[in-house]
Structure 1
Amino acid sequence: MRKPISKVSVIGLGYIGLPTAAMFASRKVEVVGVDVNPKTVDTINRGDIHIIEPDLDMVVSAAVNRGFLRATMVPEPADAFLIAVPTPFKGDNHEPDLSYIEAACKAIAPVLEPGNIVILESTSPVGATEAMAGWLAAHRSDLTFPQQAGEQSDIRIAHCPERVLPGKVMQELITNDRVIGGMTQRCSLTAAALYKLFVTGDCVIASGPRAAEMAKLTENSFRDVNIAFANELSLICDELEIDVWELIMLANRHPRVNILQPGPGVGGHCIAVDPWFIVSSAPDASPLIQTARRVNSGKPDWVLDQVKAALGNHLANHPAKTAAEVRIAVYGLAFKPDIDDLRESPALEIAEEILAWHSGPILVVEPNVDTLPASLEGAALVQPAEAARANIHVMLVDHQGFKGSARPEGEIVDTRGVWAEAPRLYSFVERRMVA
C-alpha cells in the first residue's frame, strides 16, 4: 500500500519551483521550499514573492500565513522531493550543465528515507534523470534505488517536466497534462498520485524517464522550428520588399496553414535552450533543429542592422545632427509579452548591443520592471510619453500596453508588427463595388 504524501520539499524556488510549491501548499500539504539565495528565502517567509507571475502573490501569501509553506536554505526530511533548479549551458558548444542538479542531489541525499520519491522537474537532456539516480545512490549506499533494485527500491525516481507558459503558470500548472517518466512503473504511479493532488489534466505515463525528457525537448524544438520559419520569412520579405505581416495573413487563409508571427529572435529558458539538449545527444541526426536555432539566434543581428540603417536614414535627413544627438527608444526587454522574465531575451541582447555602439541617448520602455539590469547602465527607463520624443523607435516585445498605440514620429524598426498597417482583405464582390 502506497504511503500517503503529507510533506513535499521543492528544491529551487524560481519561476517553476515557487509556483509548484505554492500549488501543493494551497491543497493543505506541508511544503518546504529550499533555495540557496537567502534573500529569496526571507522574501517567501514574509509571504511575499521575488518574481512576477499573475496570482502567485495571493497563493504564496495565503499558504505562508496558514502555515503550509515555508522556505529554508537547508533541506530537511520529506515524503517527496521535487528538483526544479537551472540547467544552463557550459562553454560555447551548448554543452548541458547538470551541476545544479548534482548539487541538489548532494544536498538532499542526507535526509532521504525509505519510501521517498525524488522527481526531476528541471528541463534536462536525455539521460539526466538516470544520472540523478546515480548521484543519489553514490551519496546513500545504505539505500536502494531503481537502477539497483527495480520495483523494490527504497527510493522512487521519476522525471516530470514543467510545461507551462510564463504569465499563465498558476492556471496551466493545474489544467495542463503532465508527462511522467518513472524509472519503474511504481515510480511513475507514485509521481502521478503526487501531482494529482492539484492537477486536473491527465497524468500521462511515459515508458520511462528518457521518453519524458525527450517529450519536453521535442515540444519546444517544434516551436523553435516553426518560429524560425516565420523569422526567415521576415528576412526574405525585407529583401523582396514585401510586407511580412500581410504575407503571413494571406498564407494563413489556407485551411491547413498556420504560420507564426516573426520577432526579434527567441528567448526564455525553454525554446532558446531545449533544442540544444537534443543536439547534444544526437548532433549528426539533428540538422533541421540546428538550422532553426541558427536562424533564431541570428535574428537579433539582423534587427541591429535595421537599427543602424534607421540611424543612417535619420542622419541623412538631418545633416546638421550628429549620432550623439539621436535618441533611440527601445520598447520591451522581456523574452515574451507581459512578463518580467529577461532570461535569454533577444530584446535585452539587442538593447545591450545598441547601447554598446550608439553614442546618443537610449530610452527603454519596459512596463514590467522597476529598474534596468546592470548590463544597460547608461540607458534610461522611461514611460511611453517620453519615448515618443525619440528619433528612432525599436519595437521588440508586443506587451499588451503597446498594442493599439499610435505609430510614433521618426524612424521605425518594428519587429512585432505593432505599428504595421493592417491590410484590408477584399472579397470579389467588395472589390467590384470599390471599382
Structure 2
Amino acid sequence: MKDWNVEKIGVVGPGIVGMPMAALLANAKIKIGNSSPAKVVVIQRNSKNSGWKVDAINSGKSVIGGIEPGLNDIVEKSVKEGILSASHDFNDIADADVILVSIQTDKKGLEPDYGPMFGGLTSLAEALQNKPAHKKPIIVFESTLAPSSMMTVMKDHFAKFGLIEGKDILLGNSPNRVMPGRLVERVAASDKLIGGLQPETPQMIKEIYSHIVKEGTLFTTNSLTAEIEKTLENAYRDVRIAFSAEIVRYCDDHNIDFFRLRDKINERLSQSDNATTDPNAVPSGGLLIPMIGVGGHCLPKDGILLWWRKIEKEQNTTNSLIVGSRAINDEAPQKSIELAERTFGSLDDKKIALLGAAYRFNSEDTRNSPTLELAKLLIEKGCDVKIHDPFVKPDDQNIMKYGFDSIFTNDFNAVLNNTDYIFLCTSHKYYMDDSEKIIHNKTIKGVFDGCNIYHSDTVSKIEVPYCGIGRGVEEPSDEFTQFVYDSFMACEKGVANEVKSLIEFFNGNYAQTDFNKAKFEDVQHLASTCSTGCEIVNPGQIEKIYSYNGFQSKLVEYAFNAQILPVNETL
C-alpha cells in the first residue's frame, strides 16, 4: 500500500499470544510512514475473570503468570515510555492501522467454537463503523482457525457490518507458534506464517512483523494454506503422541524400557533430542514422550478443526489417523491409573496428591490439563484428592470450572502431609528443585511419575514403591525395535495421504481463486519450519499392517485401511 502510515496498532486479547505480541510491537518502536513510533493499545473486555488485566498492563505489569523471561521488563519499559497501554473500550482502536486478534478459539463437539471470537469481532466491527474514511485497517488473526474460516466465516461476519474485505478492511492471518515459558523467545526466534485473502495483505503484515521476528523467517502465503498448516502442526503432533502412547502401553505391559527404545528409534530417524533425560526439554523426535494425557489449548482441538468441513459434510472419519489419535490420547488419564494400580494395588478410597495442575512445565496454563481429568477419575473411585501447583492461581477459571477450588492449594508442604500416594503430573522445575521432600518422604506409600521428571539416579533414592510411564527395565529387542520403526514410517505415510486428501477437498469446495488454493508441497514445506518437528513425508502406498507378537498399532491399521476405504468417501 503506497503512502502507508502506521500510527496505532491494536491487540485484542492479552493472553499468551496477545500479551507478548503487544509488548514486543511496542518495544520495537515501529515507524512506518511517520517519525513517531506506533502506539500499541491492548483491548480486554471487562469480564469477571479477565477484566483486571487492563489495570495490570497500565501499571506496567505483564498479565502472564509462570516463568516468562523478559516479558515483565518489556511491558514495564513500554508502558513507562507511553507506547503501550490497555483499555476495555474497542473505540480506542477504531482508528488503528493494524489490529491483531488474539481471541481464544476452541471446539464444541466436532466443530469450531467461535462464540468468544464472534463476541470480540462484533465489538470490533461496531467500533470500526467510526474509523477514519481514508483508513483500510489490516485485521490479523493470530488465533488458530479451521481451514476455510477466513474465506467464509470471518469475511462474512465483517460483511454483516458493511465492512467489505478488500475495500474497507484487509483480512490476514498469522497463526502463532508461541509456547508458555518461552513466549518472548518464541516470538522473536520462530519462523512465522503470514496469510491473507488478497496478495498484498501478507506483504504488509510482513513489514510490521519484521520488526519483532528477528531470528526467524517470515513466510507469506494465502489464508487457506496458513489455516491448514497451523491446524496440521498440532494435529500431527497429536498423532505422534498417540503413536508413542500405543507403544509405551505395550512397553509397560511387558516391562520394556520405552525411553531406551525411544532413543534407538529417534537416532535411526536422525531426530534425536534431549527430552529423554531433560524433563524441561521440548520433545521434538519421532517418538515423543507420552504422559498422563495431552493438554493445552491447541493439540486437543486442532485435529478436529482441520477435519471440521469434512465432518460437516458427513464424510467418513473411521480411518482418519488425526481423528483416531484423539481417542487414544483421551484414554491416557485412565491408563495412568491402571498402570499405577498394577504397582500399588487398588487406589479406591486412597488419599492422592496430584503435583502439577498446569498442562505444561513452568507454566500457569491449565487449559485442557490432563491433571484435572485424572483428578476427576480418581474422585469417582472414592479417592481423597488434593492438587498442588506453584504457579496456578486458586481462582484459576479451569480449577473453578471443575469445582476443584476446595481441593487445590499452592502450599506444597500441606499437600504432602497426610497423603497415601503422590502422582507427579507436571515437570515443573519447582518439583525438581524441591525433590528431597518427595524422595525421602517415608510417610507415603508410593510415587507415580506421569511426566518423566525423575530418572534412574533419582529413582534409586526414592524410599517407597515407585512406577512411571515407560519405566520398564528390559532392553527392547532388535525385532521389536524394527517393528516400531516400520510402524512409525507407515503412520507417517498415512498422515501424508490424509493431508493430501484434505487439501484436495478444501481446494475443490472453498478456494475461489488460484491465489487462495493450497498446495501439498507448500503445506509440507511450511510445516517443516515448526521448531518442535513437523516433517510431513511424501504420500505413498502402505504395503501392510505390521505386527509383533500379536500387537498392532491402531493408527497403522487406520492408515492401511484408508487406502481401501478412502477418508474422503461419504458414509
Scaled to the shorter chain, the TM-score interval is 0.7 to 0.9
Distance of aligned partners of 1:115 and 1:414 in 2 relative to their CA distance in 1, 3 Å threshold? same
Q: Secondary structure at the match of 2:45?
A: coil
8 Å CA contact retained: 1:245, 1:417 = no
Q: Tell me what 1:44 maps to.
A: 57
1:311 to partner: Cα distance: 5.9
How many angstroms does 1:246 deviate by?
A: 3.5
Which ranges of structure 1 fall in alignment gaps of 5 or more residues?
Answer: 147-152, 315-322, 426-435
Give the counterpart letter for 1:287 in structure 2. Answer: S
Say yes or no: does 1:185 pair with 2:199: yes
**Match in the other structure for 1:288:** 321
1:14 — aligned with what? 15
TM-score by length of 2: 0.66
The 10-residue stretch of structure 1 (51-60 or 384-393) with the greater mean CA deviation from structure 2: 384-393
Q: Could you say which residue in structure 2 is the equivalent of 1:89?
A: 107
SS in 1 for 2:11: strand
Query: Contact 1:80–1:116 at 8 Å: present in 2 too?
Result: yes
Structure 1 residues 417, 105: closer, same or farther in 2, change over 3 A? closer
Aligned mates of 1:417, 1:260 — CA distance in 2:
11
From the superposition, tell whether residues 97 and 15 of structure 1 become closer, same or farther in structure 2 (CA, over 3 Å).
same
Deviation track 1:152-179 (CA, whole Å, cap 9, x = no partner) reads x342111111111111111111121211
- Alignment RMSD (CA, Å): 2.5
Aligned residue in 2 for 1:99? 115
Partner of 2:161: 139
- Percent identity of the aligned residues? 26
How do 1:16-35 and structure 2 match up within 5 A? 16-28=17-29, 29-35=38-44
- Distance change (3 Å), C-alpha of 1:424 and 1:229: closer
Tell me, in whole angstroms, the C-alpha distance in 2 between the residues paired with 1:349 and 1:54. Answer: 30
Q: Which moves more between the two structures, 75-84 or 48-57? A: 48-57
- Cα deviation, 1:104-125, whole Å, max 9, x if unaligned, reads 2221223244321111111010
- Equivalent residue of 1:402, what SS? helix
The match for 2:489 is: none
Q: Distance in 1 between matches of 2:121 and 2:86?
A: 18
Shift of 1:356: 4.5
Match of 1:299? 332
Contact 1:64 1:70 in 2 (8 A): yes
The partner residue of 1:394 within 398, 401, 423 is 423
What is the aligned partner in structure 1 of residue 144 from structure 2?
A: 123
Tell me, in whole angstroms, the C-alpha distance in 2 between the residues paired with 1:392 and 1:273: 32
Residue 150 of structure 1: aligned partner: none
In the alignment, which of 195, 217, 233 is matched to residue 209 of structure 2? 195
What is the Cα deviation at residue 380 of structure 1?
Answer: 5.0
For these two proteins, the number of residue pairs brought into alignment is 404
Query: Which SS does the other structure have where 1:24 is aligned?
Result: helix
* Partners of 1:365 and 1:387 within 8 A in 2: no
Whole-Å separation in 1 of the counterparts to 2:408 and 2:197: 51
Q: Establish whether residue 333 from structure 1 lines up as the match of residue 333 from structure 2.
A: no
Aligned to 1:61: 76
- Letter of the 2:72 partner, please give it: D
User: CA 1:27–1:224 in 2, change beyond 3 Å: closer, same or farther?
Assistant: same
Residue pairs, 1:223-372, within 5 angstroms: 223-256=237-270, 258=285, 259-283=287-311, 284=316, 287-307=320-340, 312=345, 326-360=350-384, 362-371=385-394
Cα separation, 2, equivalents of 1:164 and 1:7: 24
CA shift digits 1:115-161 (9 cap, x unpaired): 21111111010122222122112202xx5423xxxxxx342111111
Residue type of the alignment partner of 2:291 = G
Q: Give distance in 2, aligned partners of 1:101 and 1:389.
A: 44
1:44 alignment partner AA: I
Q: 1:411: which partner in 2?
A: 446
Q: What is the distance in 2 between the residues matched to 1:370 and 1:125?
A: 31
Please list every run of 5 or more consecutive structure 2 residues that lacks an aligned counterpart in the other structure. 30-37, 272-284, 458-472, 476-571
Number of the residue aligned with 1:429: none
Separation in structure 2 between the aligned mates of residue 297 and residue 424 of structure 1, nearest angstrom = 27
- CA distance change for structure 1 residues 384 and 419 in 2, over 3 Å: closer, same or farther? farther
State the distance in 2 between where 1:276 and 1:377 align.
30
Structure 1 residues 145 and 359 mapped into 2: Cα distance closer, same or farther (>3 Å)?
Answer: closer
Quickly say closer, same or farther: Cα 1:119–1:386, change in 2 above 3 A. closer
Structure possessing the higher relative contact order (Cα contacts under 8 Å, 6 or more residues apart): 2
For each residue in 1:21-80, what CA deviation from the matched residue of structure 2 results, as whole angstroms up to 9, or x when unmatched? 111111233011111133222222222233213322221122122211111112132111
Q: Distance in 1 between matches of 2:374 and 2:344?
A: 15
> Which residue matches 2:5?
4
- The answer to whether the Cα contact below 8 Å between 1:11 and 1:35 also exists between their aligned partners in 2 is yes
User: Is 221-230 or 43-52 further displaced after alignment?
Assistant: 43-52
CA distance in 1, matches of 2:175, 2:12: 14
Q: TM-score, normalised by structure 1?
A: 0.85
Worse-matched range after superposition: 225-234 or 254-263: 254-263
2-structure distance, mates of 1:359, 1:367: 23
Secondary structure of the equivalent of 1:273? helix
Question: Measured at CA, do residues 177 and 419 of structure 1 come closer, stay the same or move farther in structure 2, by a change above 3 Å?
Answer: closer
Among residues 201, 209, 215, which one is paired with 2:229 in the alignment? 215
Q: Could you give the per-residue CA deviations for residues 259-296 of structure 1, whole angstroms, max 9, x where no partner exists?
A: 21111111111112111101212343670001111111
